[in-house]
Structure 1
């Protein structure tokens, strides 16, 4: 895991556009909960969330099309979620501090300085995160949501 270079970012832009049709997409980010089947009975309560009903450990990952993992964070389920995992991420500290490379591009006559991350609705509303649409009426938005879920 390392910060991407200018060359890495250009390569990712090109590959994600070619493979998925997303202009200037850099990474996908998601959070999942792994079942912890062999956890001692004494600790089960500390690692069990009500929505799962069994012990889990949280994993948040930022990965590219070629499985380059830029960021991985393991945490205890109850004390961590997608947002608190971001608070512990060097990747997003550099993003917030604007330390990442600028490679500008234009979409709909608007200039953007950096690429973006595909995510789900739990992440903050930052320009770096592109979310899917939850209620879809327009066929174009339905197509976008289907493509995003596939990536």
Structure 2
């Protein structure tokens, strides 16, 4: 796993054909210093590794251990979740299974392929940036990203990429009610539906719910919105130029609740930096 995480441990051959230290030698030197507390220059006689090189390898090894085995790690997820997604994607699409070509050369592992994909999704890095890190070219990285996205949509859409069900709506209504807005389903600015100019497709459309305000029964939920949206029953907007204590209090409460919803949505989007440049794969058909 250290080899996969850090190519520094991969055995290399220099320009004149001399084979360098093996990954086993590099890791053995690091483990001797960690386990036995020996001095860095003591591994020279045993493994033919100089003091400065031993220190460098020890630093790389420790960084790799922290990165690979800490409970909450890279890509905004813990290791167990990362491996769970990897196993499902690998089972769905054989493209991610490690293969051996006709001359016996072992190809990239499924861990390398998914790591390259997750770096592009979470950090928003360019496709060619994973070449130095994982030895994956630009076109190959893009191809793997497309395979990964298709696999995730196919395997997880039924549970996570769906419209809210009754349990979801009940949970959202409870949250809205606790904030002083019974019947609230969220903020319209954080929904990101495919609209053009204004959401005419949502006019008068919202999940049917039951709630009580000032002894009046209502059967349609609503979304918080700012002043740019039209006057529709499904939008509850702030009061501009508030006058009187009631209007001032309502405006503050509405804007506070809407900001909290949008902030939560923003945190989720920030975990996947690629959404800031999602048009990079756009093509004219």
Gaps of 5+ in 1: 31-60, 63-70
Give 1:113's aligned residue.
Answer: 219
Where do residues 1-150 of structure 1 align in structure 2 (5 Å cutoff)?
1-18=161-178, 20-30=179-189, 61-62=190-191, 71-73=192-194, 80-81=196-197, 83=198, 86-87=199-200, 92=202, 96=205, 101-150=207-256
CA RMSD of aligned residues (A): 2.2
The structure carrying a bigger helix percent of its residues is: 2
The structure carrying a bigger strand percent of its residues is: 1
Question: What is the alpha-carbon distance in structure 2 between the residues aligned to residue 21 and residue 147 of structure 1?
Answer: 8
Moved over 6 A (4+): none
Q: Given the two structures, how large is their TM-score scaled by the length of structure 2?
A: 0.31
Question: What is the alpha-carbon distance in structure 2 between the residues aligned to residue 101 and residue 26 of structure 1?
Answer: 9
Question: What is the alpha-carbon distance in structure 2 between the residues aligned to residue 130 and residue 21 of structure 1?
Answer: 13
TM superposition shift of 1:8: 0.9
Maintained 8 Å contact 2:183/2:209: no
Question: What is the alpha-carbon distance in structure 2 between the residues aligned to residue 125 and residue 132 of structure 1?
Answer: 11
Aligned residues: 97
The structure with more radius of gyration? 2
TM superposition shift of 1:101: 4.0
The answer to which structure, 1 or 2, has the higher relative contact order (CA under 8 A, 6+ apart) is 1
Question: What is the alpha-carbon distance in structure 2 between the residues aligned to residue 114 and residue 126 of structure 1?
Answer: 12
